[in-house]
Amino acid sequence: MFSIVLFTLGPVMTNTYLIADDETGESVVIDPADEGKRIVNEAKKRGWRIGSIWLTHAHFDHLGGAAGVADAVNPPPPVALHADDYSLWRIQGGAAFFGMRIDPGPEPTIELHHGQVLHLGNHQLQVYHAPGHTQGHVMFHNPAEDILFCGDVVFQGSIGRTDLPGGDFSTLINSIHTQVLTLPDETRLLTGHGPETTVGEERKYNPFIQ
Ligand SMILES: [Zn+2]
Ligand SMILES: [Zn+2]
Cα(97) to ligand 1 centroid in Å equals: 13
Beta bridge partners of 198: 188
Instruction: List, as one string, the DSSP characters of 77-105.
Output: PPEEEEGGGHHHHHTGGGGGGGT------
Cα(145) to ligand 2 centroid in Å equals: 24
Cα(24) to ligand 1 centroid in Å equals: 31
Q: Assess whether pLDDT exceeds 90 at residue 210.
A: no
pLDDT at res. 51? 98
Q: Assess whether pLDDT exceeds 90 at residue 36.
A: yes
pLDDT at res. 132? 98
Q: What is the pTM of this model?
A: 0.97
DSSP letter at 193 equals B
Q: Which ligand is nearest to the CA of 133?
A: 1
Cα(23) to ligand 1 centroid in Å equals: 32
What percentage of residues in the chain have a pLDDT greater than 70? 100
> pLDDT confidence of 162, banded at 50, 70, 90?
very high
pLDDT at res. 71? 97
Q: Which ligand is nearest to the CA of 155?
A: 2
pLDDT at res. 99? 83
Cα(18) to ligand 2 centroid in Å equals: 16
The beta strands (E) that lie in the chain are given as 2-9, 14-21, 26-30, 49-54, 79-82, 110-112, 117-120, 123-129, 138-142, 147-151, 154-155, 158-159, 188-191, 197-198
Instruction: List, as one string, the DSSP characters of 54-82.
Output: E-S---GGGTTTHHHHHHHSSSPPPEEEE
pLDDT digits 0-9 by tens, 82-138:
999 999 999 998 888 788 888 999 999 999 999 999 999 999 999 999 999 999 999
Nearest-angstrom CA–CA distance, 31 and 14: 8
- In this prediction, residues 53-58 reach a mean pLDDT of 98
- In this prediction, residues 162-168 reach a mean pLDDT of 92
According to DSSP, the β-strands at 26-30 and 49-54 are parallel
Nearest-angstrom CA–CA distance, 27 and 1: 12
Q: Assess whether pLDDT exceeds 90 at residue 8.
A: yes
Cα(23) to ligand 2 centroid in Å equals: 31
At residue 143, φ and ψ (nearest 5 deg) are -65, -35
Cα(200) to ligand 1 centroid in Å equals: 23
